Chains A and B, each alone.
Chain A
Amino acid sequence: MTDLRPDPDELLARVEREENQRRRGRLKIFFGAAAGVGKTYGMLLVAQAKRAEGVDVVVGLVETHDRQETIAVLQGLEVLPPKLVKHRGTVQREFDLEGTLKRRPTLVLVDELAHSNAVGCRHSKRWQDVEELLNAGIDVYSTLNVQHLESLNDDVNLVTGVQVKETVPDTVFELADEVELIDLPPDELLLRLKEGKVYVPQQAERAMRSFFRKGNLIALRELSLRFTADRVDAQMQDYREIHAIHDVWPVGDRLLVCIGPNSGAERLVRAAKRFSTSLHAHWLVAYVETPELQRFPAERRDEVLRVLRFAEQLGAETVTLSGSDMSKEILSLAKSRNVTKIMLGKPGRRGWKRWVLGSVVDKLIAEAHNINVYLLGSPRGEGILEQKRPKQMPEPKVRRLGYPWERVKRHWLSWGWALVMTSGTTLLAWLMSGKFESANLIMVYLLGVVFMAARVGREASILTSILSVAAFDFLFVTPIYTFAVADAQYLVTFFIMLLVGLIISHLTSNVRFQAKIASHRERRANVLYALSKDLATGRNLADISKIAVRHIHEEFGGTSVLLFPVDDSRLVYPQEPAIAESLHAADLGVAQWVFDHTRIAGQGTDTLPGASAVYFPLSGFRGVIGVLALRAANLRRVFLPEQRRLLDTFLSQIAQAIERVHFAEEVQQTQLRMESETLRNSLLSAISHDLRTPLSVIVGAASTLVEEDAHLNAPDRQELSLTIYDEALRMSNLANNILDMARLEGGQASLNLQWYPLDEIIGGALTRMHKRLQGRIVNTRLPDGLCWVRLDAVLIEQVLINLLDNACKYTPGGSPIDIIAELSTHILKVTVADRGSGIPAGSEEKLFDKFYQVHREGKQSGVGLGLAICKAIVIAHGGVIGVGNRHGGGAQFFFILPVDEASPQLVDELEDE
């Protein structure tokens, strides 16, 4: 059955690609088989045509090699000045990326895509410059020779015998929007070479003898033609895909490449790249770190790291696994990622070793049922590969210096232990000899081997095995004191003894490594747990930064700093005070680049390797949110695969924590906005009602007094005046309340906390409410003796006044009001209780909201701010306020204040009785 609809994922990817292209500049590559075929010339011709069309074309960098034709066609084009970089005394002309970005032409010509930039440029490779130009939306024309393509590197090497150092990842070529093949038959090229049109005569001579042999040229031409044809084929495939022509290749091929720390890894990756391209398959490169592999020196493991990064450049996804059983790890990865093909190098173990010890390849083939396994053949002898020295990643020098000495010391130590152990067991065997069978003496020796394997290590135990056999032979096997053996049977004994010793060594040291790995994993889990626990406590960005920097210091050493953008674009240095682990001199330029491109850069990477720190982008759900600048004390602690993975986990946890804080802040702000919105609305309606009513009364009464004075008798006049007076007071109260609320809300009211006797506060409130309370019985029930409380007297008095006022407002005149204060060790509770109608059930909480009134249209006036003010004041004191109905009818409002300090004492010197 054929599904005729286009695969939605692919369509989506296509849309994304097209989307990107709309923003991205277009890359056109002039592709040729060798130097001198006329790529630059062809490029300039097209550029001239573009210029004639009115396109803003500039020449970023073109190598004319003093070829007359090329120089001629360059006439009339704007040429940007090159960047001059001083390197070891010579000045090199490099493409000026910054200048071009500033100039922002529509189209820029950058020759020789594969060129490696001099130290001091932003990127180590020119294709990275081009990538950045494209990202900036500038179209680029560039040139490329076939031998510079990464995946063809080995083939070219085999054909021509020349190792090309400057290479371009295939992805760059694949993502080019247009590729124009500049083709020239080999004979014509050789003719041009002879005529001196390509190189100056002496150079041409040399070139013709080495690289420019006719055979080479034919092979290279074929490679380039084939490669271009592949591309055209891919375009056709694309076309078929869009139109849902699906019957040719079943999609979903996924290739898994397994590499090890051997020299074949890079070749394997190149081959896999070509393979995956021809399959149109997604490909993964995996490295499984087993205990055995951990024994390799760090240099070899660094090499693996480099190959993994190289694979990433070629477009692979890379995975580092760790486990004891390589084939098991590979298979579980393959299953989880739905891999259809696995590719490996030929098994390392050959002949009997492979037969006895097994090989990963055999195990994989046996267990991978639905997965095809491909093996890469190796060229005759590994010699060719060994020639190629792996590029070293920049290493910190400090560690290197001490390192070999450390190792030598460790070797000598383990050898010493082996000697000591063998001497010990020999002494014991010597004492036992005569009384025991020689088989028992062998057991003693084996015990020594086991002990060494368990305690000291594999090397020592192997040495102990060998020494033990020798000592046993020398001392206990006739003829004694010679290594000669009289009885041939002993040869079997020796062999088995040695074999048992070796196997024990191997097994025991494996167990040791497993334990080491387990403890390493446990430690890592602990580290992560500690980080996430601490991050969870971070309330704001500054907290999180501090926590992150501290944990990164603990785990990776060195200093670091988290940089965040202002206005989502420009990174700035944090304003919080730095802590001891903070990095002080992060390069904001590099950080900005990392932020803009979401790629790691700086020390130890391909981009801006000259920087003094490594810069990692912090990516969250909503894209990149910041940059971590880390100046490691030891780069290996950052770049070893397991450390790198740990750091990645660190980064994602930190990013998540930051986003959590961001989200929380946003939610809070939205809530605040909504609250202030509702508040404003209710304020407006309340004020429009509560201000206008008294105002209209005042205006009405006053106008009567002014205009109708003649018709009014004295009592009427008095009545009107009284009305004005009352309403004005009401407005005054309202204004006071609104002002109080604004002051409390605005946080301007700082508490003036002092010690007061409680009765003074209550007395003060009652004095001020004297008039209002006339005709009522007010009962106060206070604790005996002077009861000291620390509070802001003005504000708490206001609380009491508001509560009393409230009681007056909502209860019939003449009904009693009770004030009860209770003091315990930790709290003071003050209750104002009335005998009114009580409060409606369910409105207890709302009562303290701003502008809430029980009877909105009732005769009681006031905006409903009184209780809200009480609440704000009590909360500012760290207390609570509440309300309930009272036994026997009526409402009781109470507030509770904390009393946690000792009350003040009088100084003795006060002379008094």
Chain B
Amino acid sequence: MNNTNPVIVVIEDDSQICRFLRTSLRAQGFQVIEAGTGERGLLEIGRRKPELVILDLGLPGMDGIAVIHKVREWSAVPIIVLSARSQENNKVNALDAGADDYLTKPFSIGELLARIRVSLRHAARLAGDSTETLFCVGDLQVDLSRRCVFIGEQEIHLTPIEYRLLTVLIHHAGKVLTHRQLLLHVWGPAYIEHAHYVRIYMGQLRRKLEADPAQPHYLLTEAGIGYRLAFRE
């Protein structure tokens, strides 16, 4: 095994899921460190300085969200949360606590790898000075330096808030952002309870950017959680 391979700490108590993750991730060239509990996971993260953490929310003992809080005290390592279905609240809490993304069990390895790639890229962009000024996905083109938005050849006029919303999404492209996070970044802490603001502006933005707002291609909704800007790999 090569030492330069990215390290992933998997904090998961179910041995079968560990087994499957280990096999699949190793095949993709990752180094996998397993931890059965939150405490052990924290220890491994501190020692191994991993590139990414995969964290199960339903852990025995120290619970997943507490682990996220602890990690965020001293590290910005990307964290992908695994959770059972129909626990939207848990997912939102985990994301608000600082997790980068989530996956609902059961998930396919393809989905997981896509999330891992997005998170790694995002982390890399944060580490190095982001000089990318042009964002492209499908027909959508945003020139961040000139503050211009195009669909194909057509320039789209956005209001300041719409534009700010779009840039926040672009900044986290591919990652899910909760309503709370969007409100905080776009409107500021005073508006954190006004979830419908996000929906109103997201609706307006869709009307301007999407061909059919009811079948969006760029501005995707994660029901009960938030929004995600589609990201082309």
On A, residues with C-beta under 8 Å from B are: 725, 728-729, 732, 736, 739-740, 743, 752, 754-757, 759-764, 766-768, 778, 780, 782, 786, 793-794, 797, 819, 904, 906-907, 910-913
Q: Is the CB of A912 within 8 A of B214?
A: no
- Told that A780-B212, A794-B86, A819-B214 touch, could you supply 15 new A-B pairs with CB distance under 8 A? A729-B106, A739-B85, A759-B206, A760-B206, A761-B223, A763-B206, A763-B214, A763-B216, A764-B220, A764-B222, A767-B221, A782-B214, A794-B224, A904-B196, A912-B159
Could you list 17 A-B pairs, sorted by A, with CB under 8 Å? Answer: A729-B106, A736-B86, A760-B221, A761-B223, A764-B220, A764-B223, A766-B215, A767-B216, A786-B200, A786-B203, A793-B224, A906-B200, A910-B161, A912-B159, A912-B162, A913-B159, A913-B160
A residues less than 8 Å from B199 (CB atoms): 755-757, 760
- Cβ contacts under 8 Å, A913 to chain B: 159-160
A763-B213, A778-B215 given; A797·B223 CB < 8 A: yes
Docked-complex contact A754 and B195, CB < 8 angstroms: yes
Tell me, yes or no, whether B197 is within 8 Å of chain A by CB. yes
Task: State the CA gap A766–B107 with chains docked (Å).
Answer: 19
* CA of A732 to CA of B216, assembled, Å: 27
Bound Cα distance from A767 to B106, whole angstroms: 18
- Beta-carbon contacts under 8 Å, B175-233 to A: 187, 194-197, 199-200, 202-204, 206, 212-216, 220-224
Taking CB atoms, residues of chain A closer than 8 Å to B96 are: none
Chain A residues whose CB sits within 8 angstroms of the CB of B222 once the complex forms: 764
Q: Which residues of B contact A728 (CB under 8 A)?
A: 106
Does B44 interact with chain A (Cβ within 8 Å)? no
A759→B199 CA distance, assembly (Å):
11
Closest to B217 in A: A767
Q: Which of A754, A759, A911 has the most CB of B within 10 A?
A: A759
Question: Is B13 on the interface with A (CB-CB < 8 A)?
Answer: no
Residues in chain A near residue B224, CB distance under 8 A:
752, 793-794
Decide if B213 touches A759 in the complex (CB within 8 Å): yes
Task: List chain B residues, Cβ under 8 A from A756.
Answer: 199
Contacting residues, chain A, for B197 (C-beta < 8 A): 906, 910
Task: Give complex CA distance A331, B209 in Å.
Answer: 95
- Which B residue sits closest to A786, measured CB to CB? B203
| A793, B221: Cα distance in complex, Å | 10
Chain A residues within an 8 Å CB radius of B206: 759-760, 763
Q: Write the chain A residue with the least CB distance to B227.
A: A760
Residues of B within 8 A of A (CB): 85-86, 88, 106, 108, 159-162, 187, 194-197, 199-200, 202-204, 206, 212-216, 220-224
* A757 B200 Cβ-Cβ under 8 A: yes
B106, B108, B159, B160 pick with most chain A CB within 10 angstroms: B106
Are A764 and B221 in contact (CB-based, < 8 A)? Answer: yes
Chain A residues with Cβ below 8 Å from B86 are: 736, 739-740, 743, 794
B218 CB, min distance to chain A CBs, angstroms: 11
Q: Which of A725, A736, A780, A910 has its CB near the most chain B CB atoms (within 10 A)? A: A910
Q: Which B residues lie within 8 Å of A739 (CB)?
A: 85-86
A749 to chain B, nearest CB (A): 8
Q: Which residue of A lies closest to B190 (CB)?
A: A909
Is B214 a contact of A754 with CB atoms below 8 Å?
no
B160→A912 contact, CB < 8 A: yes
The interface centre, meaning the residue of B196, B202, B215, B216 with most chain A CB atoms within 10 A of its CB, is B215
Smallest distance from the beta carbon of A738 to chain B beta carbons, Å? 12
Are B223 and A780 in contact (CB-based, < 8 A)? no
A780 touches B196 (CB 8 A): no
Provide the residues of chain B in CB contact with A766, threshold 8 Å: 214-215
- In order of increasing CB-CB distance, the 10 nearest A-B pairs are A764-B221, A794-B224, A780-B214, A757-B203, A797-B223, A759-B214, A759-B213, A913-B159, A762-B214, A764-B223
Residues of B within 8 A of A819 (CB): 214
Q: Which residues of A contact B161 (CB under 8 A)?
A: 910-912
Q: Which residue of A lies closest to B161 (CB)?
A: A912
Q: Which of B161, B194, B196, B222 has the most CB of A within 10 A?
A: B196
Roughly how many angstroms separate A755 CA and B224 CA in the complex, as a whole number? 12
Q: Please, which residues of chain B bring their CB within 8 A of the CB of A755?
A: 196, 199
**Minimal beta-carbon separation of B111 from chain A (angstroms):** 11
Q: How far is the CA of A763 from the CA of B222 in the complex (A)?
A: 10
Interface centre among B187, B199, B200, B223 (most CB of A within 10 A): B223
Provide the residues of chain A in CB contact with B195, threshold 8 Å: 754
B110 to chain A, nearest CB (A): 11
Contacts of A911 in B (CB 8 A): 160-161
CA of A128 to CA of B108 in the docked complex: distance in angstroms? 83
Indicate if the CB atoms of A759 and B203 lie closer than 8 Å.
yes
User: Chain B residues with Cβ under 8 A from A732's Cβ?
Assistant: 106
Q: Say yes or no: A793 contacts B214, CB within 8 Å.
A: no
Q: CB-CB < 8 A to A767: which residues of B?
A: 215-216, 220-221
**Chain B proximity of A726: nearest CB distance (Å):** 12
A725 to B202, CA, bound (A): 36
Instruction: Give A781's nearest chain B residue, CB to CB.
Output: B214
Q: How far is the CA of A752 from the CA of B204 in the complex (A)?
A: 24
B215:A763 contact, CB within 8 angstroms: yes
| A739-B85, A780-B214 known; A760+B196 contact, CB < 8 A | no
State A797–B222 Cα separation when bound (angstroms).
10
User: Which listed residue (B88, B106, B215) contacts A780, Cβ 8 A?
Assistant: B215
List residues of chain B with CB within 8 A of the CB of A780. 212, 214-215
Q: List residues of chain B with CB within 8 A of the CB of A743.
A: 86
